[in-house]
Each structure stands twice: as structure tokens, then as C-alpha cells.
Amino acid sequence: MDMMTIVSTVASLIGTLSLWEMVKYFINRKTNKRKEEAEADNAEFAVLREMITFLQEQLKDKEERFADQTARLRKTQDENFNLLREKAMLELSLEKNGGNRIDEGNNHEN
């Protein structure tokens, strides 16, 4: 085999392989496009899933803070109500026993 035959054979082989790759490209063009779109969609959905998880955690934290603030408010309101009730009971007791109520800053002692 001379050098020209080898070069010709190699060139024919490369040309045939290149032609085959080109045919495969055109045959699989739509399939490859769908795969790329699916990969892009998957990446986008992954970002959206992460965002949903983040937002759910934020909502959970806010709900917990709201529940905590509501509990503190109720406790404060209960304490205030109890103090008002005790004050009313003391005033009633003073009135029943004939005691004089002394307001702050107004001493009736002359």
C-alpha cells in the first residue's frame, strides 16, 4: 500500500464518520432540543422549589412570632384584668367597711 492509498482511505473514513455525525445531528436535533429544554426546566424548577422552601420557612417563623406575641398580649391583658378586679374588690371592701378612700395626692387630713 502506498502512501496515497492510506491517505485516501483515512480521508474517506473521516469523511464518512463526519457525514454520519452530521446525519445523527439532524436526526436527533429535535430530541436534543427537548433534552436541553427539559434540563433548563429542571434547573428552573429546582430554583422555584428552593424559593418555596425558603418562603415556607419564613412563613413558619412569622407564624411562631405571631403566636408568641399573641400569647404575651393575652398574658398582659389577663394580668391587667386581674389587677382591675382586685382594685374593684378592694374599693368595694373599703366601701362596705366604711373606710374612706384616699386618692393619691389628696390627703384629707387637715
Per residue in 7-29, pLDDT tens? Answer: 888 888 788 878 778 778 888 88
User: Distance (Å, rounded) from C-alpha 27 to C-alpha 20?
Assistant: 10
Please give the tally of structural domains in the chain: 1
* Neighbour tally for 109: CB within 10 Å: 4
The tens digit of pLDDT for each residue in 32-78 reads: 889 999 999 999 999 999 999 999 999 999 999 999 999 999 999 99
User: Distance (Å, rounded) from C-alpha 93 to C-alpha 100?
Assistant: 11
Answer whether residue 104 is part of any domain: no
Alpha carbon separation from 79 to 62, 67, 76, 88 (Å, rounded) = 26, 18, 5, 14
Contact predicate 101/94, CB 8 Å: yes
> pLDDT value at position 15?
80
User: Distance (Å, rounded) from C-alpha 42 to C-alpha 31?
Assistant: 16
Domain that holds residue 85: 18-96
Answer whether residue 43 is part of any domain: yes
> pLDDT value at position 97?
85
> pLDDT value at position 5?
84
Alpha carbon separation from 43 to 38, 50, 57, 105 (Å, rounded) = 9, 11, 21, 74
Answer whether residue 106 is part of any domain: no
Alpha helices (runs of H) in the chain, residue ranges in sequence order:
3-27, 29-96
Confidence of residue 110 (pLDDT cuts 50, 70, 90): very low
Answer whether residue 42 is part of any domain: yes
Contact predicate 30/37, CB 8 Å: no
Answer whether residue 6 is part of any domain: no
pTM equals 0.50
